[in-house]
């Protein structure tokens, strides 16, 4: 069925979750690069709903359609659904004010009504905060947005866009496709091995990834915190004290929580926590320290 098919393609093991739960997973190339990271919603073993990154949807659909055996249908629903999220410590309070039962486990989903519309509600997000992602039909998205915006306003919440989400996910060390994960960067290098079902039989790219895990990757993703006022940005070079280039920043920003610059960088795997390195910030050397993730404590549960 559909679950067995997807389990031979995606990295994570869909047998780890039951019906009514969702799972973070990756779609890799045979060479181990990442086509996309996505959330798989398990309705039943015969019916799975996939939420890839919007810009990668057509690539994901094309790969799945090319691999799907007879009897398995892969439909592109990109234009049918919108994705909204309510994130933060008061997220449950907001949902309850809309009459929604929030007593669901982390990564579980249900079907609810908001603003008169049917919505898929999942207890997930990409911010490191308590929260929910909502998938209304596109035609209902404005009504659902208005209901949510009104509900958060009454308790002092704000609407925000992907810029804020990007800062929050960077503070957690969550990878973003096109930055920490790409066709050139494997999940083993990106420290995303937790999203791989190593105990299951093969999946696309599994031979390369197993070998890389066994032999240790030459490069891996690490967290950097600024020791001065420099703010790291993507593609800036990272060097050691001898001036040797160790790799580059994949994501960098100013952390409003820590009041300092933070970054994720793909560096030589000899780099370890506590090392002090330099980043070339527009011709000026900025000092950073390798730290453990997350930069900010997680509150997803």
DSSP 152-196: HHTTT-----HHHHHHHHHHHT---BTTTBSSSS-TTTTT-GGGS
Low-confidence ranges of the chain (pLDDT < 70): none
* 218-301 CATH pick, 2.130.10.10, 3.40.50.10280, 3.30.565.10, 2.40.30.110: 2.40.30.110
Q: What is the structure's pLDDT at 216?
A: 95
Q: What is the structure's pLDDT at 29?
A: 99
Tokens at residue 147, please? 């209901």
Q: What is the structure's pLDDT at 204?
A: 99
What is the chain's mean pLDDT, rounded? 98
Q: DSSP letters of 68-88? A: PPTT------TTTB--EEEES
Q: Which residues contact 275 (CB under 8 A, 6 or more apart)?
A: 240, 289, 290
Residues in the chain: 301
The domain spans of the chain are 1-215, 218-301
Q: Is the pTM of this model over 0.85?
A: yes
Please, what CATH class does the domain formed by 1-215 belong to? alpha beta
Phi then psi for residue 206, to 5 deg, are -65, -35
Q: What is the structure's pLDDT at 157?
A: 96
Q: What is the structure's pLDDT at 286?
A: 98
């Amino acid at each position: 069925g559909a679950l067995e098919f997807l389990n031979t393609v995606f990295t994570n093991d869909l047998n780890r979750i039951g019906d009514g739960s969702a799972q973070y997973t990756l779609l890799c190339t045979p060479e181990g690069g990442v086509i996309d990271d996505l959330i798989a919603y398990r309705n039943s073993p015969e019916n799975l709903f996939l939420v890839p990154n919007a810009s990668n949807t057509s690539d994901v659909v094309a790969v799945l359609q090319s691999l799907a055996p007879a009897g398995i249908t892969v439909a592109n629903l990109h234009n049918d659904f919108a994705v909204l999220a309510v994130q933060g410590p008061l997220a449950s309070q907001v949902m309850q004010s809309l009459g929604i039962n929030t007593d669901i486990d982390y990564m579980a989903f249900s079907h609810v009504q908001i603003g008169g519309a049917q919505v898929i509600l999942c207890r997930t997000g990409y911010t490191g905060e308590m929260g929910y992602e909502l998938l209304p039909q596109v035609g209902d998205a404005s009504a659902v947005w208005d209901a949510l915006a009104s509900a958060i306003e009454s308790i002092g919440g704000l609407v925000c866009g992907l810029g804020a989400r990007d800062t929050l996910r960077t503070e957690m060390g969550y990878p973003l496709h096109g930055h920490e994960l790409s066709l050139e960067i494997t999940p083993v290098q990106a420290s995303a091995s937790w999203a791989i079902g190593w105990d299951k039989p093969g999946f696309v790219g599994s031979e390369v990834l197993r070998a890389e895990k066994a032999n240790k990757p030459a490069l891996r993703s690490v967290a950097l915190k600024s020791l001065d006022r420099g703010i790291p940005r993507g593609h800036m070079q990272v060097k050691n004290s001898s001036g040797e280039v160790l790799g580059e920043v994949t994501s960098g920003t100013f952390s409003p929580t820590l009041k300092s610059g933070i970054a994720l960088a793909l560096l030589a795997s000899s780099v370890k926590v506590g090392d002090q390195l330099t980043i070339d910030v527009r011709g000026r050397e900025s000092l950073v320290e390798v730290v453990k993730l997350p930069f900010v404590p997680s509150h997803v549960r």
